[in-house]
Structure 1
Amino acid sequence: MRLLIKHATLIDKNNAFHNQKIDIEITNGVITAIEKDITPKEDNHVITKENLYVSKGWIDTSVVFGEPGYETTETIENGLKVAAKSGFTDVLVHSNTNPAIDNQSVIHLMQNKAQEKITQLHVVGCMTKNAEGVDLAELFDMKNAGAIAFGDYKKPTPNANLLKIALQYTQDFDATIFAFPMNKDIKGKGFVNEGIVSTKLGMKGIPALAEELDLERNLSLLAYTNGKMHVPMISTKKSVELLKEAKAKGLHITCGVSVNNLVLTDEELTNFNSNTRLMPPLRSETDRQALIEGILDGTIDVITSDHCPVNVENKRLEYDLADDGSIGLESIFGALQKVLPLEVIVEKLTHHLGLLKENPIRTGTKAKLTLFNPTTDWTFEPKNITSFSKNAIMLGKKMKGEVYGIINGEKSNL
């Protein structure tokens, strides 16, 4: 199969053609030519789109689908379709499943379900058995089965010694631990940001300290062990400062942030829409601005959609009883363009944390590309949702930018 992408503006600051209009020829999934103008051959499938832009394939580092066990929220098959439609060639899928992803069998099941799909699924195995934070899971066995990292999805590790042992043990096979920071004792029964808004609304708050204290502890453990850690999501100003200091010390640390915390604040809570109930919670405007600065100065490495499907019966409840989470794949690009420059967005959506193989846009490499138009204005509505679950925090929000699709080797949805 021969594809020819015509007149596309390339966004890749490490490429000589950055910000230039080019043609890209792809033969049997491999880039065979990149030039200013390529004459189509008879067997070329020519791709032309309005105001076409192209970048390396986007990666989402924090996604859950539900399967196995909660297929009504999202199946692997449909979740990967949603990801491809949203511009992602790769997704890191975490355990929000039953059984938990804590052994080879579950990993093999998920990999089999993901075969031949356009978007590639990468499994983040649980750090502890059943993600309960008591005993280490079979980390080395899962690594051999294809797990690319380990972490208990959005669950902190109260036992500091257990996290220390995990950071030490995984050095033997060069693995990364995903450590979600949240002190359970300080969090208590809180479910939104502790601040002026929560006080006015009479909601139980989660102090910023709950995240920051746990993060300080985790960074101390990282310094002691010299392991490799990724902080999946931070949400406060001080967390940005702590990560900046840790990086300056040379620790093996990366971190991410949810699109929701970059775009929205706890002011969204005033209508008691349970789609705004998230973990980490939406914070203050001061925190949001600090997160933006953390993106711009390189402290924060990746942005995630934090795609977390929840069934309607677990979401349309009284606010304090509803489950945390929002879907986000379909809206992440359009929402980010309201707060960040295009080049920065692409940089943060293509960072692979050292966990995936680098796929530069050059001749002789596998084609992993995302195609999009950054200038389209639209509003996110229910008709834009192809996820099984409809718990979207961005519903009704103004968006900017349209994803056309992806090319991932010999597969494409264009």
Structure 2
Amino acid sequence: MIVMDNEAEPETAHRPHRKPLALVNARLVDPASGLDAFGGLLIANGAIADLGMHITEGSIEGAESLDCGGRTVAPGLIDMMVFCGEPGHEHRETLATASRAAAAGGVTTICCMPNTDPVIDDVALVDFVLRRARDTALVHVHPMAAMTRDLMGEDMAELGLLRDAGAIAFTNGKTSVANAKLMRNVLSYAKDYGALIVHHLEDADLAQDGVMNEGEVATRLGLRGIPTEAETMMLDRDIRLVELTGGRYHAAQISCRASLEVIQAAKARGLPVTCGVSINHLTLNENDIGSYRTFFKMTPPLRSEEDRQAMVEGVASGDIDVIVSAHDPRGAEGKRRPFAEANDGAVGLETMLGAGLRLFHNGEITLHRLLNALSARPAELLGLAGGRLVKGAPADLALIDLEMPWTVAREDLRSKSKNTPFDEARFEGRALVTFVAGRPVYHYG
């Protein structure tokens, strides 16, 4: 049995474990191949060396072993939307604290959004994030660069140079590019580089100063609403531009049935279009705002229960490709305000898996579909080697107890900010051990 520290030291986080390690007596679940079988998995030199029923206690000479007790070994989760404060807002979150939160949630790769100060729209800033992550983070970190300078939506950034520097995709963060000609140019240039464009969907003029979903609940609370059309109209425009340019396009978050129908139609026409949904929009709805609870203020806003159910159906059918945490740390000074004045955003790296497993236990989404949207599909879209249980793949893994009950305690979150909508929520299932390059970077308990 291997003895693991509760959290690995940052400077050793990306070094392969020194001795081969056999995870035995495990349920191996690989959403990419459909594998679901009991057996073992051998880790050597930071990669998966072998897996199958033949790997048992003592079967591999010279290897340490970890008895998984029949629990699930799956690819580590890959989160395509993480807002991190570094550089510029380290009081809200750093790459180090975000990586510890990720590891505790079974997440082995995070994609950082460019909403920093300064904005990640320069080669030097891409390099800074990569170097800082290498020195301080426990998990893999890939920066998404700004598609427009300073995220202003006016001038296109140097996409080719940013991609060469290590940007994994391009986005305008939490704002949409309103200028259709500029968006066309972005998609055209991105196609030349084979780059993925990840776009936030909101028509700012239609949304105006809305703070929650438009409808009966907003009217009752006396709050200005944002119609679903603000999202769907922007998505429909973007799909037409994709058809015009052929560029690879990913809708960062959709939140309503009408947007799902637009995505389904685009995919039916064979367009290079994919989409994501946040774990919040899969498990919460506008009614959770209750008596102006600001931890439930998000962008896009929480929608109706009918729209939430549509999002679940989209993941279950595979029409929605990925699930993201939309991790967005906010301090008390930004959240403890009247609802209309409060910052939007919620932390989610540590709760994404537990919240997602609610859908599995309720019978709404199969385990394979859930894990596919959390690991295999984002790896495929981003061109990453992880997200799979196959020989030679990186040993970025999560050992998950699907049945373990636990209660979210805000004060125990590893994120610097504590703005979780799941405070005191009861979950069933969590990551017990998280491996990055074969090394345990988190151990529960």
The total of aligned residue pairs comes to: 413
Paired residues of 1:50 and 1:373 also in contact (CA < 8 A): no
Please tell me whether residue 142 in structure 1 is matched to residue 162 in structure 2: yes
- 2:318 maps to 298
Matches within 5 A, 1:225-240: 225-240=245-260
- SS, match of residue 22 in structure 1: strand
Please tell me whether residue 35 in structure 1 is matched to residue 63 in structure 2: no
- 1:371 maps to 399
Whole-Å separation in 2 of the counterparts to 1:311 and 1:92: 21
> Which of residues 175, 182, 193 in structure 2 aligns to 1:173?
193
TM-score, normalised via structure 2 length: 0.90
- 1:73 maps to 92
Identity level (%) = 33
- 2:37 maps to 20
Matches within 5 A, 1:328-339: 328-339=348-359
- Which is further off, 41-50 or 140-149? 41-50
Paired residues of 2:23 and 2:68 also in contact (CA < 8 A): no
> Which of residues 284, 299, 315 in structure 1 aligns to 2:335?
315
Compute the displacement of 1:175 (Å).
0.6
Instruction: Could you tell me which runs of 5 or more consecutive residues in structure 1 were left unpaired when the two chains were aligned.
Output: none
- 2:23 maps to 5
Cα distance change of structure 1 residues 110 and 43 upon mapping to structure 2, 3 Å threshold: same
- SS, match of residue 49 in structure 2: strand
Compute the displacement of 1:336 (Å).
1.2
Matches within 5 A, 1:252-291: 252-291=272-311
Compute the displacement of 1:379 (Å).
1.8
- 1:357 maps to 384
- 1:343 maps to 368
Compute the displacement of 1:13 (Å).
4.3
- 2:362 maps to none
Structure with greater contact order relative to length (CA < 8 Å, sep ≥ 6): 2
Whole-Å separation in 2 of the counterparts to 1:135 and 1:64: 22
- SS, match of residue 382 in structure 2: coil
Please tell me whether residue 208 in structure 1 is matched to residue 228 in structure 2: yes
Cα distance change of structure 1 residues 140 and 284 upon mapping to structure 2, 3 Å threshold: same
- SS, match of residue 242 in structure 1: helix
Whole-Å separation in 2 of the counterparts to 1:162 and 1:185: 18
Instruction: Could you tell me which runs of 5 or more consecutive residues in structure 2 were left unpaired when the two chains were aligned.
Output: 1-18, 360-364
Compute the displacement of 1:50 (Å).
4.4
> Which of residues 371, 382, 394 in structure 1 aligns to 2:422?
394
Which amino acid in 1 is paired with 2:366? P
- SS, match of residue 80 in structure 1: helix
- SS, match of residue 199 in structure 1: helix
Whole-Å separation in 1 of the counterparts to 2:230 and 2:317: 25
Paired residues of 1:309 and 1:390 also in contact (CA < 8 A): yes
* Moved segments of 4+, more than 6 Å: none
RMSD (Å), alpha carbons:
1.5
- 2:3 maps to none
Paired residues of 2:32 and 2:372 also in contact (CA < 8 A): no
Paired residues of 2:115 and 2:173 also in contact (CA < 8 A): yes
- SS, match of residue 20 in structure 1: strand
Which amino acid in 1 is paired with 2:127? H
Paired residues of 1:118 and 1:412 also in contact (CA < 8 A): no
